[in-house]
Each structure stands twice: as structure tokens, then as C-alpha cells.
Structure 1
Amino acid sequence: MLDNPPNLLRLSASVDAFKTNKRHCFPSKAAVRGSLLEMRRSNTVAFVSAGMLSPKKRDHMLARRQLYLNYGALSLATILNDQGFKTLLVHGEHREPSELLDALVQDGTLPSSLPVMLSIPSFYALGWAQRFCKLVRLADPCAKIIVGGRWVVGPDPGWLRKKLPEADLLIPGLAEPVITSLLTATPIVRRLSAPTPQFVLNHRLVSGFERYQPSIEASRGCGMGCSFCEERDIPLEKLLPAEQIAAALAMIAGQYGTSDVRPYLQSSMFAPNLNWSTCLVSAVRSHGLEIKWRTESRVDALTPETIACLAEAGMKVLDLGLETASPTQILSMRKSAHPDRYLHRASKLLKACGQNGVAAKVNVLLYAGETAKTLTETRSFLDEHNEHIAGVSVGPVVAYGPPKTANILLHEWSGSGCVAVDSRSTDETGITHVHLSREMDAESAELASLDMSRRYMNANAYYRLKSFSYYPRDYTRHDFDRDVDASDKSRLPFRQ
């Protein structure tokens, strides 16, 4: 804690002024700066994962309970911590930015002599980040604010600069190679790539880490060319060795002091072969581990034999990017040039999950050009495999990014009769909702998404999947039922 509570309270009061004065008549910068000069600055590098002012899909109590560990920011915090710097990662979640800033001031993390590292994990977090930057600059005009988040900063740093004028630096690529330089007078801000980290994330650097399920970054990239994917042109890296994954699982259990954790093996396309999977079984056994974990992959990237091995190694939930079962839409998405082969492999994989006790959560994307016919094709496939599906996540496609990148997608989609709901939103927020086709507008697509979600998922299935990875580790079924009662049932993606 800081040694001078009165000054600390003055800083907190300046933040309160931002919250309560709707005319934005702030204290003068000179007054705030005067109080700060009297304060002792910490030597902590504060990493802040921008939260969301409202959930990205449907706003209800259950959505606001979800936690998303920012493992990219934690990777950077871990690097600096290993170099001797004191680091802390805090998540905005669905808290007000002012609440989070108050907490950082009260515990002495801010003000700091080192930069505030703000990570923006998605465009849905941009509004929160804008408020937070304004508050930090108001409370501490001397603060250095460095903003990262490859998917938000990378597409057009010039556009983002206009959205975040308070930021001192924008880092457009992966920051592992440059993170130490960002603490110096000569920071490196070039766009760089970085291989999958070889170290285990230090989850104890996360404020309230016990609430979050841990992550292991298993590989980066994908490169499969799907039209809607951010990583369509980024080559898939080789998976970390199976022994290294098992050792990471053991280290995470040590960090949490329990094997009752549910790590997420982060990989845009988890695609191990049978030999790697067999090695993982042996490595897990040699470490004496009984940890259940989750990952994601394509429906055509794993074989039934591999699924059996991975289940034996602890894989309990698999997020599968089916996206569609319509041959027309498979081709439009560029998921595969051979829809029949794609769906045949998807069928075999889903059945293998069911036979090996792996909960398959299927992702479905209502895409540009969607019609009642294409939707029926997807629904028929899911009906046929219903007994092997643990749940679904369904939603209409959205064009993410500033005009520089989003307009390319929107132009491509326009050939299918797809148009923006509000063309101004592209520049204003980087999030462009669309009418999918002349037959299916945005409202119809949302209703169809909810209908399909409820068709394959009840409350029990929804809770099991969400509590495995995304709800706080101490979030009970009683908590869930209470939140269901407090939610608008029309927004919930499951049947009662």
C-alpha cells in the first residue's frame, strides 16, 4: 500500500468526479497533477485486460458471469515477472472502468513509475478501453499508456489512434519479442510475429486468479483459409511436445494447489496426430495426472482414433467449428472445397466424441447468403447427430474491424445479398452487424440462432459446458439457477 492515504483518496476522488459529473466538468489537470506529485509511485507493471460494457452476444445475467482469461496479456506479464519486474494482470470483466481503476489506486498499484499495459482482446472491449484511458489520463496525466491486442490494433493502427487519443503507444503485433523494450525510453513498436511460448503461464499473477480456469497455449496460427477467420492466412505452428503439455498441466496444478482445475489448451486448430496423442497419454500417466481439459478444433482435423487417445489423456470438452452443414455455405465460407468429404469427417468425429465420453460443443455460424434452405440443411445434420452433441453455440456472422479491413468482407458478402445494418458502425465501433440475405435479415437471423441453440441445449447442458471453462470456479448450480430467475428468458440460448 502507499504510505499517504490522504493523497490516495484525492486521486480516487478525481476518478469519482468522472463517474458522477455528467457534463464532464473534470478537476483541472493542474490540481490532479499536484496531488499525484505528492504520491509515491509503485514499481508495478499493471496489465489491464479491457472488459466489456455489455456482453458481446446477448445481455443477460448469465453472460455477465463469464470470465475470459487474457492469456496473451498473461504471457507478457509472465515474461516481465521472470525478468524481475513486479507485474499484475487485472481483468475488466463487466465492471465499470472506474471501479477497476479505483481498485488499482486503493491497493497501491497505481500510480506507477512504469507503463500501464492495456490489452484490448476484441472490438467489443473497445468502448470499455476508451473510458478507461480517459480515466487514467484524468487521474494521472503523467501515466504512460501502452495499448496492445493484435486483432484490434493490427488492422489499422491509424484508425485506433483516433479512438484512443490518450494512448502513448499502440503495439500492432505480438508483443513477446518487444515487451521488455516497452519499459525503456526506446520502445520497439514494429509489427512482429512470435512463436508459441515455451514457458508455462504464471496464473498467480492474475488478480483473483483462483476464480479463473487456467490456459496452456498449445500452438498458434491456423492458415486454413476460412473467409471469416482472422487467422486464415497465418500458418499453423507445430504443437508443443506432448511431454511439455503434460509438464505444464502439472505446474498449473501446483500453482492452484489442486488438480481440480479445467485448463483450456489454447489453439485455433488443435490438430495432433495419433503418435502425438499417444505420447500425451504416456506423459500424463507418468506425471500421475487426472486433470480434465478442453480445447478447440475443426471437424475435419481429428480422427476417431486420435479422439480416443485424447480422451484417455484427459480431454473432456471439444469445441468444434462445424459452422454449417449446408454444402452451399461450406463453399461460401471456404471451409472446404469438398463439402461431402467435410461432412463425412464431421459425422465420424462427432460419433467418436460420443463414444469416448468427450462433450462436443458445436459452433454454428449463420453466414452471408443464409436462407431457410441452407439453415434447414444444417439443422438436419445436427438432428441426425443430436445424441453426440453436448451443446451448440449459434450466431450470425459479424464483420469485425475498421473500414480498411471490414469493407473487404462486406464487399465480398454483398454478392450474396448481405448488407450492413448500419454502415456507420464500421468506423464507429469496428463491429458491423449485417442482414445476411434478402431472405434473412438481422432480426430473423438472431431469432433463428436462438431457436437452434434451444433445439439442442437445455439448462443442464448449458451449465455443464459454461461451468467447465468460463464461469468462476466457485460458481455453483444454485448460483446459476438464481441468475436464470433474474434473467430475461427471451434472451437465454437454452430451453428450460
Structure 2
Amino acid sequence: MNTVFFISAGQLRIKKEKNISNQKNMYLNYGLLSLATVVSRAGYHSSVFHGDFSSPEVFFAELISNGVLETQYPIYISIPSYYALTWAQELTSLLKKQINNKIYIGGRWVIDDDKEKLKAEFPFADEVISGMGENKILATITGVDDYTDYRHQPLDYSLLNNRRYYQPSIEVSRGCGKGCVFCQEKHEPLGSLKSPKSIINEYNQLLLKDELREMTPYFEASLFSPTEEWLKELIDERSKCKPFFWRAECRVDSLPNKIIPLLAKAGMGVIDLGLESASPAQLRKMEKARRPENYLKRASELLKLCHENGIKTKVNIMLYAGESIDSITETREWLEKHRPYIYGVSCGVVSAFGWDDNKQEFIDSLCQHGASICEEESFLGVTNFHLSETLTYQQSVKEAKKLSKEFMSIENFFYLKAFSYYPRNYTFEQFKEEIEIERGNYSFAYEWTQS
């Protein structure tokens, strides 16, 4: 069949440690699926493939078995992060050796408003598509401009290769605009929320009735800030179908106390809470909160309310410029006080993403707070840092993993991963068997059996 191929680039580099617990993730590129949906609804046979953690050679063989050498249409490759650059470079080389089709590459955050820089890294690609591609994709096939508003279109999951293994995503809004210095959407204005009726209709369309793990969608929004009215409408619409649970990422300051019970009634099962730090000094450096004491009080109330209403909370922490063992201890002690209300903790280390000239202002701000570039751990598009004179990059990575491990059991870790990222046929028993064999360094606590 003459198929339009959409490819989400895999990774040769991995942000977190290369182990089983990380390489089992199936990250849905829902933006790419949106483009494929546009093309499919225009009458073309489309298919979406994810490179994940396979080698470009193995993945290319899979594409060949699915007819990539026979298609007359362009090939579309989405690069979701700078960690996927080298993988995409190798795949475009393999493709061009055997086909003459045009190859388009995109990736909103990787292009970073500089098409020419990315094009220079891809000698085998023909064109770069910048920004949101929904109104540009059809023109690359038909030559006709497209002015349709696709912002709230439902995704066609039937186009997704191995779709039954993916936990779905439903985009509920775009943009943020809160101005956090480390965020790539700090200046993107917040858009309106998709209507609850549209969300439920989309869920009913993508739902598979099978023997695998329940489908629990991620409500994708850079700033999820629902109103009481919106949640009450979602509660009503959700009551008309089989109940399901969903997940979303939220800021501490975006959820009033009074809507937490409504979130639970609307089906929120997991909340990813962007706390970032419990050190007042670090929160100020991040420009996360003007009044850290009020911010932390708000976070405390939110954790307790979520727990009381049956919402599992994963707290996200980021070690930032100027960090020290003392500031990490402040965060640890705050988390310890709230341990009964915390389901898990994910801790990472700040990085600067983008082309050098685009991220220089951010790098300068980090250096002003005591950070310095870690040259040996930086590469094209990604700059990593020694966070202070007393905390090197390597030490900070160890401290981040240590903090996660202190507040994350293996059972809770698997539940959170399975809720959104692990294949729907991957069981806890399989997971334990594999880590027993690998015996790596993980972000959760685990007692090894005797070998």
C-alpha cells in the first residue's frame, strides 16, 4: 500500500541512565500523530512509527517490511528532543541511500526558531518544517495552502503502529506563559481548554476493549488550570461513559483548593506536581515564586488535599544553579514531612536546551547563580552544568537519583510508569524479573533477592 510515513525519531542518547526501567518507556509523539491525522482525513493512507530505543538499522528494517521503499510520498521525521538528533541523522542517511523521496524533518523545540542550523545537521533531509506543522503538512503533498483550525481535532489512533501497547494522550490546551526561566513555553500564551464533551468523545474513539491494561490517558497541557465550571461539565460527560482515570501535570499555584475534590470526581488518578524545590533560595533563583513561604504552604495544602481525595501525587524536583547539599537537604526535609501524602518523587538536574545563541541568556543566568558549564557532559543542543563550586554535574545526578529513591518504592514507580508510559502488556512481574537480571542503579528503592 502507498503509505505516508510519519516517524518519531528514537534515541541513541538517553537523558536518564540507560537501563531497563527507562528503555521500556513508550513515549507517544502525539504532535506527530496529529499531523498524520490531518493527512489521513484528507484521504491519504498514513502510518506513524516510533523509533523509541531501537537502533536506526533495526528500525529501518522495520520500515522496509512496512513498505517504505515503495511509497511515492515524502517521508516525515519528527525530532522530539536533542537527544534524538544523532538517531535521526543516521536514519535519514539510511533512507537516502535507497529512496529518492523527499524527507521533511520537524520538531518544534529542536528547531528552536532556527531552521538553517538544523538543516545544516541533516545533509540528507530536503526541508525543515518549523513551528506547529498542522497547517503546513498537506501543502507538502498537494501544493495547496491549508488554513483549517486543527487545534481541537481528535487524534486518529488507528494510524499508530503497535497502537494497542500505547497509553494515549489527549491534548487539552496549548501554551503557558508563566515565565519560569527554565521553561521553553515561558512566553507561549495559554490557550483555551478543549471542551469536556470533545475530550470524552475522543476517549471513546480511541478506547480499545481488550485484555491489556486499562487505558489511562494523559491530559496534555503545559499549564493545566481547569475552572470549576469546566470540571463539573467533565464530571457530567464522564458519567455518561465507562469511568476512566487520567493524569495531568500541574503547577502548585494553578490549582485552588476548592477544585481538588472536583478533579477527583472528574477522574484524575495521578497528578504530576511541579514543585521543583523546597528551598526558598532555589525557588527565587528559578523565579518560581516571589514569596517562597506562601508557595510551599500552598504546596503542602495541595498534597494533603490530593491525598484525602484519592489522587496519587508524583512530585517533580529539579536541582538548579547554585544548588548545594544544604539546599537539597531543605528539600529532602520538606518532602519527609509530607511523605504520607506523596506517592513518588522524580528528581532531575537543570539543563539548557537549544542552539547556543538562543540559550545564551539562560546559560548566563545559571552562571550568575554559581553554575558552570560541564563540557564533557554537554553536546549539540544540550548544555549540562556543575551546579555550584561544591556540587559537580556528576554529583548532582547522583543526588537527584538518591532523592528519588528515598521517596519512591518499586511498586509505586511501576504504577506511575504503567499508568502512562510502559507498554500495556508489560506486567509488574516481568519488570521485577528483568531488573533482577540487570541489577542496575534505579530511581526507586528495591531489596534484591539473594543471587
User: Above 0.5 in TM-score?
Assistant: yes
Bigger shift: residues 151-160 or 476-485:
151-160
CA contact (8 A) 1:43 1:86 kept: yes
Q: What aligned pairs does 1:184-223 form with structure 2 within 5 A after superposition?
A: 184-185=142-143, 197-223=151-177
**Letter of the 1:372 counterpart:** I
Q: What is the deviation of 1:245? A: 1.7
Bigger shift: residues 406-415 or 130-139:
406-415
User: In the alignment, is residue 314 of structure 1 matched against residue 272 of structure 2?
Assistant: no
Q: 2:89 aligns with which of 130, 148, 151?
A: 130
Post-superposition Cα deviations, 1:96-122, rounded to whole Å, max 9, x if no partner, equal 111111112122233421110000001
CA contact (8 A) 2:176 2:189 kept: yes
User: In the alignment, is residue 174 of structure 1 matched against residue 132 of structure 2?
Assistant: yes
- What residue is the counterpart of 1:147 in the other structure? 105
CA contact (8 A) 1:156 1:404 kept: no
**Letter of the 1:494 counterpart:** F
Whole-angstrom distance in 2 between the partners of 1:467 and 1:329? 32
Count of aligned pairs between the two proteins: 446
- What residue is the counterpart of 1:330 in the other structure? 283
Whole-angstrom distance in 1 between the partners of 2:358 and 2:262? 40
Whole-angstrom distance in 2 between the partners of 1:418 and 1:364? 18
CA contact (8 A) 1:80 1:87 kept: yes
Q: What is the deviation of 1:90? A: 0.2
User: In the alignment, is residue 351 of structure 1 matched against residue 304 of structure 2?
Assistant: yes
Whole-angstrom distance in 2 between the partners of 1:424 and 1:445? 13
Bigger shift: residues 96-105 or 352-361:
96-105
Bigger shift: residues 251-260 or 124-133:
251-260
Q: What is the deviation of 1:423? A: 7.5
Whole-angstrom distance in 1 between the partners of 2:366 and 2:95? 40
Bigger shift: residues 216-225 or 56-65:
56-65
**Do the aligned partners of residues 79 and 196 (structure 1) sit closer, same or farther apart at CA in structure 2, a change above 3 Å counting?**
closer
- What residue is the counterpart of 1:382 in the other structure? 335
Whole-angstrom distance in 2 between the partners of 1:459 and 1:114? 45
Q: What aligned pairs does 1:224-303 form with structure 2 within 5 A after superposition?
A: 224-253=178-207, 260-285=214-239, 287-303=240-256
User: In the alignment, is residue 95 of structure 1 matched against residue 54 of structure 2?
Assistant: yes
Post-superposition Cα deviations, 1:48-90, rounded to whole Å, max 9, x if no partner, equal 0001114321111111111000000000001111110110000
Q: Which has the larger radius of gyration?
A: 1
Bigger shift: residues 453-462 or 257-266:
257-266
Q: TM-score, normalised to structure 2's length?
A: 0.95
CA contact (8 A) 2:213 2:424 kept: no
**Letter of the 1:462 counterpart:** F
Q: What aligned pairs does 1:64-83 form with structure 2 within 5 A after superposition?
A: 64-83=23-42
CA contact (8 A) 2:69 2:98 kept: no
Whole-angstrom distance in 2 between the partners of 1:156 and 1:207? 31
Q: What is the deviation of 1:186? A: 7.3
Whole-angstrom distance in 1 between the partners of 2:291 and 2:279? 12
Secondary structure of residue in 1 paired with 2:252:
coil
Whole-angstrom distance in 2 between the partners of 1:107 and 1:159? 32
**Letter of the 1:112 counterpart:** T
- What residue is the counterpart of 1:11 in the other structure? none
Q: What aligned pairs does 1:338-487 form with structure 2 within 5 A after superposition?
A: 338-422=291-375, 425=378, 428-487=379-438
**Letter of the 2:166 counterpart:** Y
Q: What is the deviation of 1:176? A: 0.7
Whole-angstrom distance in 2 between the partners of 1:215 and 1:462? 20
Whole-angstrom distance in 2 between the partners of 1:258 and 1:494? 25
**Letter of the 2:232 counterpart:** T
Bigger shift: residues 240-249 or 385-394:
240-249
Q: 2:122 aligns with which of 164, 170, 179?
A: 164
- What residue is the counterpart of 1:492 in the other structure? 442
Runs of 4+ in 1 over 3 A off after TM superposition: 184-188, 254-259
Whole-angstrom distance in 2 between the partners of 1:315 and 1:183? 40
**Letter of the 1:164 counterpart:** F
CA contact (8 A) 1:204 1:255 kept: no
Stretches of structure 1 lacking an aligned partner (at least 5 in a row): 1-41
Whole-angstrom distance in 1 between the partners of 2:17 and 2:242? 37
CA contact (8 A) 1:322 1:362 kept: yes
**Letter of the 1:454 counterpart:** K
CA contact (8 A) 1:259 1:291 kept: no
Bigger shift: residues 373-382 or 123-132:
373-382
- What residue is the counterpart of 2:4 in the other structure? 45
CA contact (8 A) 2:112 2:354 kept: no
CA contact (8 A) 2:2 2:70 kept: no
Q: What is the deviation of 1:354? A: 0.5
Bigger shift: residues 44-53 or 175-184:
175-184
Secondary structure of residue in 2 paired with 1:319:
strand
User: In the alignment, is residue 86 of structure 1 matched against residue 45 of structure 2?
Assistant: yes
Q: What is the deviation of 1:447? A: 1.3
Q: TM-score, normalised to structure 1's length?
A: 0.86
**Do the aligned partners of residues 134 and 487 (structure 1) sit closer, same or farther apart at CA in structure 2, a change above 3 Å counting?**
same
Determine what percentage of the aligned residue pairs are the same residue.
37
Whole-angstrom distance in 2 between the partners of 1:303 and 1:185? 48
Q: What is the deviation of 1:451? A: 1.1
Secondary structure of residue in 2 paired with 1:47:
strand
Whole-angstrom distance in 1 between the partners of 2:273 and 2:141? 40
**Letter of the 1:353 counterpart:** C
